[in-house]
Amino acid sequence: MQIKKGIAVSPGIVIARALLLDATEYPIPMRQITPESAGAETAKLEKAFADSISELETIISHLRKRIAKEAIPIIEAHIKIIRDHYLKSQMLDHIKKDAYTAEYAVSRTLRKYIKALTSNQTDSFWGSRVNDIYDIEKRIIRNLVQDKIAGISKLKEPVIIVSQDLTPTETASLDKNKIKGVTTDKGGRTSHTAIIARALGIPAVVALNNITLDIASGDLLIVDGNSGIVVIDPDKETIKKYSALGKNFDFYERKLLSEIRNLPTKTKDGREIMLCANIELPEETSTVIQYGADGVGLFRTEWLYSDSYILPSEKEHFEIYKRVASALKGRKLTIRTLDIGGDKLAATDGEAPIEKNPFLGCRAIRLSLQNTGVFELQLRGILRASHYGNVNVMFPMIATIDEIRQAKNILERVKNGLRKKRVPFNEDVKIGIMIEIPSSAIMADALIKEVDFCSIGTNDLIQYTMAVDRTNEKVAYLYQPSHPSVLRLIKYVIDQGKKHNKPVSMCGEMAGDWIYTPLLLGMGLKEFSVSPIVIPEIKKIIRSITLDEARKISENVFTMESAVEIDKYLRDCVKNIAPQLS
């Protein structure tokens, strides 16, 4: 039995067998094979070719059903390249004559091809083909080495995924019925993989260092997403202990939910608080309602862009937002415009240059303002959906007042277009910004005048204030939501909201971590937007404290100088307020 400790990012306790996935970016060592295995290696290559072609044909048939068909020739070109006799004969030669593995043969051949293409720098047509070749290389190699990944969709037994890391798209495609838990070498509490695991209700522990080296597929595992513990090959006693803990946890969750679901979100002294949910996918709307949320405070829309070769059309945007807005039946729906970049890569990124510091690069509103066509499509979809529900629009990663003005101008242009065509939309759609960069928190007094509301995105605000990559487990100890500098920024934003009579909410993960609930209430926060599954806990705390008690806690915290001290104090407070949760 081996016990590993990582970061608990999605609650729940599960026991199941491991399914080990190789890294997405598979490293290809120059390994050689024995002459006898050349036949098997060739057969492997043929199969990977056939699998790749069949995947691409499936993509084409999906694309045919969609409105935009511009991407079909690109995919057809990929198939042509895979079928190219010359390239294939070179790969086969590498296997037979040089005794290379199939993976290395593919990589060597295609990299040589890329070199030839890029040597002609002035020819932009061939330059742009390079990304296609990388894409093809990745696909064939994945098919060579990652049969297991393809197998995820065909699983019969429930499993716990063990992986170096999962991309947000991979996480989003996990089937909750089969995937019981997730463990990864990398990641942090606010990496998007963690956020989606939470949204899907799959217990997860990340930042386990080299857990992929300690586990083989089929090993029995316990994942405790409450404490961050993973047990490999547990003994009978441990299995018994964790089964009981898991049952208790599930029972308590269900009981708390049924007790609290229909009760109002009010402090003990009757102050109303708005408790909304964050969603990633339209399918989560039913969970939002089931957990009794007051609405959706953050609808992340990146996933619309991440699983296709083509950008979503205006119709697709409109239909998805309309579906969610209608299902919410008048509850508010805050749709955040595209926030691709950072750790949220999209298929469309294949065409974007690779950035050295993606979190500081062309992300979110920056990308939208540089690609106004893409931005306008989304805005039109949002505006049209506003006719069918209580829809707000929110811009992410605002750093300057000029960005807000530019975004508003574009929104106005889109509105004009719709007016001209007599397409109905809500003329009074509310405009908000995310405060997630220190510059915008410090300038909140000015920025807030430009908009109807703002929402504090602590996931990024902490990352940028503390200069700590939110996905890097090596510096996770510095990722401190309660660092006094972060708290001062948050307080300033809340105060500016009050002064200018504009609603301020918080939609970063800090809002859903209940040790901070009393503090945030005391700081004056009136609106929380959290992962749906933690709504019962957050509501429980809100209902168990008066505003005066919360203010006292906040005053005490503001006399402290270290996050460690503050967290310890807040844990003790929660222990007193809601002993069941601590």
301 makes contact, choosing from Mg ion, ligand PEP, none, with CB < 5 to 8 Å by partner type, with none
78 counts as catalytic = no
458 makes contact, choosing from Mg ion, ligand PEP, none, with CB < 5 to 8 Å by partner type, with ligand PEP
Of 285, 308, 390, 458, the one binding ligand PEP (CB under 6 A) is 458
Minimum separation from the CB atom of position 389 to Mg ion (A):
24
Task: Quickly list DSSP for 220-288.
Answer: EEEEETTTTEEEES--HHHHHHHHHHHHHHHHHHHHHHHHHTTS--B-TT--B-EEEEEESSGGGHHHH
536 three-class SS? helix
* Nearest in space to 577 (alpha carbons), one of 514, 502, 510: 514
Contact 187, 206 (CB under 8 A): yes
Q: Is 11 in the site for ligand PEP (CB under 6 A)?
A: no
322 makes contact, choosing from ligand PEP, Mg ion, none, with CB < 5 to 8 Å by partner type, with none
Q: Is 471 in the site for ligand PEP (CB under 6 A)?
A: no
Q: Is 508 in the site for ligand PEP (CB under 6 A)?
A: yes
Residues numbered 173 to 192 that lie near ligand PEP (CB under 6 A) are: 190
Minimum separation from the CB atom of position 460 to Mg ion (A):
4
The residue range among 350-358, 373-381, 452-460, 563-571 that interacts with ligand PEP, by the rule CB under 6 A, is 452-460
Question: Phi and psi (nearest 5°) for 160?
Answer: -110, 125
Calpha distance 274→266 (Å, rounded): 9
- Closest CB to Mg ion among residues 181, 457: 457
How many CA atoms, within 13 angstroms, populate the side-chain half-sphere of residue 199? 29
* Nearest in space to 461 (alpha carbons), one of 492, 476, 446, 440: 440
Q: Is 399 in the site for ligand PEP (CB under 6 A)?
A: no
- The separation between the first and the last C-alpha atoms of the chain, rounded to the nearest angstrom, is 28
Q: Is 457 in the site for ligand PEP (CB under 6 A)?
A: yes
Q: Is 79 in the site for ligand PEP (CB under 6 A)?
A: no
507 makes contact, choosing from ligand PEP, Mg ion, none, with CB < 5 to 8 Å by partner type, with ligand PEP
The residue range among 71-79, 128-136, 401-409, 454-462 that interacts with ligand PEP, by the rule CB under 6 A, is 454-462
Q: Is 171 in the site for ligand PEP (CB under 6 A)?
A: no
Q: Is 460 in the site for ligand PEP (CB under 6 A)?
A: yes
Cβ neighbours of 72 (radius 10 Å): 17
Strand partners, 391: 333
Contact 542, 266 (CB under 8 A): yes
Q: Is 436 in the site for Mg ion (CB under 5 A)?
A: yes
- Closest CB to ligand PEP among residues 344, 539: 344
Minimum separation from the CB atom of position 342 to Mg ion (A):
8
Of 129, 139, 180, 300, the one binding ligand PEP (CB under 6 A) is 300
The 301-330 site mask, x for binding ligand PEP (CB under 6 A), equals ------------------------------
Strands 527-530 and 274-279: parallel
- Closest CB to Mg ion among residues 312, 508: 508
- Closest CB to ligand PEP among residues 515, 578: 515
Calpha distance 469→190 (Å, rounded): 10
280 makes contact, choosing from Mg ion, ligand PEP, none, with CB < 5 to 8 Å by partner type, with none
Of 193, 392, 459, 531, the one binding ligand PEP (CB under 6 A) is 459
Residue type, 129: R
Minimum separation from the CB atom of position 559 to ligand PEP (A):
26
185 makes contact, choosing from ligand PEP, Mg ion, none, with CB < 5 to 8 Å by partner type, with none
Instruction: Kindly state the number of chain residues that form the binding site for Mg ion, as judged by CB under 5 A.
Output: 3
Q: At what angle do helices 314-327 and 372-385 cross, to 10 degrees?
A: 30
> Per the residue annotation, which of 78, 94, 192, 317 is the catalytic one?
192
- Closest CB to ligand PEP among residues 107, 169: 169
Residue whose Cβ sits closest to Mg ion? 460
Q: Is 532 in the site for ligand PEP (CB under 6 A)?
A: no
How many CA atoms, within 13 angstroms, populate the side-chain half-sphere of residue 131? 15
The 3 state secondary structure assigned to 35-70 is HHHHHHHHHHHHHHHHHHHHHHHHHHHHHHHCCCCC
Calpha distance 456→468 (Å, rounded): 18
Task: Quickly list DSSP for 336-354.
Answer: EP---BTTB--GGGGGSPP
- Closest CB to ligand PEP among residues 100, 305: 305
331 three-class SS? coil
192 counts as catalytic = yes
- Closest CB to Mg ion among residues 143, 505: 505
Which residue stretches of 66-184 are H helix? 72-83, 85-96, 102-119, 124-145, 147-150, 168-172
Calpha distance 303→502 (Å, rounded): 30
- Closest CB to Mg ion among residues 21, 444: 444
Minimum separation from the CB atom of position 336 to Mg ion (A):
9
Minimum separation from the CB atom of position 550 to Mg ion (A):
26
Of 294, 339, 403, 537, the one binding ligand PEP (CB under 6 A) is 339
The 417-436 site mask, x for binding ligand PEP (CB under 6 A), equals -------------------x
* Nearest in space to 344 (alpha carbons), one of 169, 561, 541, 581: 169
Of 234, 432, 457, 536, the one binding Mg ion (CB under 5 A) is 457
DSSP letter at 509 equals G
Minimum separation from the CB atom of position 344 to Mg ion (A):
9
Using CA atoms, how far residue 106 sits from 22, 118, 133, in Å, is 18, 18, 11
- Counted residue by residue, the chain has a size of 582
Question: What is the sign, positive or negative, of the torsion defined by CA atoms of 396, 398, 402, 403?
Answer: negative
Minimum separation from the CB atom of position 340 to Mg ion (A):
12
396 three-class SS? coil
Q: Is 481 in the site for Mg ion (CB under 5 A)?
A: no
* Positions that interact with ligand PEP (CB under 6 A): 190, 298, 300, 339, 436, 457-460, 507-508
Catalytic residues: 192, 507
* Positions that interact with Mg ion (CB under 5 A): 436, 457, 460
